[in-house]
Structure 1
């Protein structure tokens, strides 16, 4: 199967009616998300939730995480785990390689269902740009070495695409950021706590790790909320309806 081209970038107008939030790598930890949305007082009629990707794998609610794509208030970018899932569905990678990075939840998933999920995931952009000027922020999965103009041009070669999905050089201190980039929310590399390096704000706090937590931040503010799946379930998260 020849894969459809991945959308590169999607622009969103600023939210003048409500608040914008960004959530770290979900990895199938939807109960933690339910809990956090209640904690922030999320209003689905006005607020929006952007995701840095990696909705699936490792946690035990990957199917529920994929269902978030149906929510009109939820906007995700493609993560490396979704990209791997698509590669399997498209026949470009064997299933066992995906299972090795947490895709074992799909071992019993029929081929047709996998293909359907992949077709939806392939519509996710690599980058989302929200707002303009001083109220602008960007959302992507891993890292980007460039400024806003280069991001907007979206002329990404294979190396840049690889870094957008898999890069860790910035998070590991192996490279330096470039100036001219608006605040940019990233995931991919688990951090003990939210960490900013240059303009890039890493918000993956290891939701799937026993000692980790899922983190939501309110865009362009210092406000953040975190919860582990265990804590969320102890607080009755499974009974909290998503907006």
Structure 2
């Protein structure tokens, strides 16, 4: 599926180049978010075949596999529709937000997280709907949310700090198991029907980091780690469950 780094790469390489993620370097010269987020080092080590560039634009934002009880989804970030934070429990959210996304029930003036469901996906996601997207750190569309969002991780962190977050449960009614990543975590995590399996495979500072693989619909998950002596260790783990 398409993730934020692929989206930045397309913006840098393809004909629509440098319209969505332009930046300025510290010296004031034109720069780009793809280069800033590791793209410059990537180009030093790899070449981009022309046919790969053409395939980038065909990457889906969301994959639906199976039907009924065998159904599951694959997405890069998460399937949050909106995160509402009237008490300021998440430092990443502005005090006042606007946009066209639903604004929830407002129960008790508490934080609330809203999710897309299977029915929303099957009827067609509201691609032009907008909201403030933590991780993207500005307002964006549903496509931006699927590639950049960290709302669910923020909601989980608020709950860990003792706040009651409306809508946050182990499983979300009407939403099939969803496999995602984007936010590196210390261990695989299950919350709101979503299984986060990014355990920081690119990180070497943490003994828990590694490349994780999960078996769909069974919640079995393994993490592979490469040690300094070159050996690879594979550990079967369990999802941390938040709900």
Shorter-chain TM band? 0.5 to 0.7
Deviation of residue 100 (structure 1)?
1.6
Residue 105 of structure 1: aligned partner: 41
In the alignment, structure 1 residue 164 sits paired with structure 2 residue 146: yes
Which of the pair is proportionally richer in strand?
A: 2
Equivalent residue in structure 1 for 2:58, among 100, 117, 123:
123
d(CA) in 2 for partners of 1:215 and 1:199? 18
8 Å CA contact 2:211–2:225 kept in 1: the answer is yes
Structure 2 Cα separation of the partners of residues 162 and 127 of structure 1: 12
Choose from 70, 77, 82 the match for 1:135: 70
Partner deviation per Cα, 1:4-61 (whole Å, 9 max, x = no partner): xxxxxxxxxxxxxxxxxxxxxxxxxxxxxxxxxxxxxxxxxxxxxxxxxxxxxxxxxx
Whether the aligned pair in 2 keeps the contact of 1:195 and 1:203 (CA below 8 Å) is: yes
2:120 maps to 1:150: yes
Quick one: distance in 1 between partners of 2:63 and 2:176? Answer: 12
Answer whether contact 1:128 1:140 (CA < 8 A) is retained: yes
The whole-number CA distance in structure 1 between the counterparts of 2:229 and 2:219 is: 22
Matched, 1:205 2:199: yes
Task: Report the secondary structure of 1:101's partner residue.
Answer: helix
TM-score, length-normalised on structure 1? 0.58
Structure 1: stretches of 5+ with no match in the other structure: 1-76, 237-243
Query: Is the partner of 2:174 in helix, strand or coil?
Result: coil
Superposed CA offset, 1:191-227 (max 9, x none): 1111111111111101001021110000011211101
- 2:198–2:211 Cα contact (<8 Å) kept: yes
Q: Is the 1:89–1:114 contact (alpha carbons within 8 Å) kept by the matching residues of 2?
A: no
In structure 1, distance between residues paired with 2:41 and 2:124: 34
TM-score, length-scaled by structure 2: 0.58
Count of aligned pairs: 160
Please give the root-mean-square deviation of Cα atoms over the aligned residues, in Å: 2.8
State which of 78, 103, 110 in structure 1 corresponds to 2:2: 78
Q: Deviations over 1:106-156 (max 9, x none)?
A: 334799x36543321211100111110001110101011210011123332
Name the SS for the 1:134 alignment partner. helix
1:114, 1:147 → 2: CA distance? 37
User: Which structure's relative contact order is higher, taking Cα pairs within 8 Å and 6+ residues apart?
Assistant: 1
| Structure with bigger gyration radius | 2
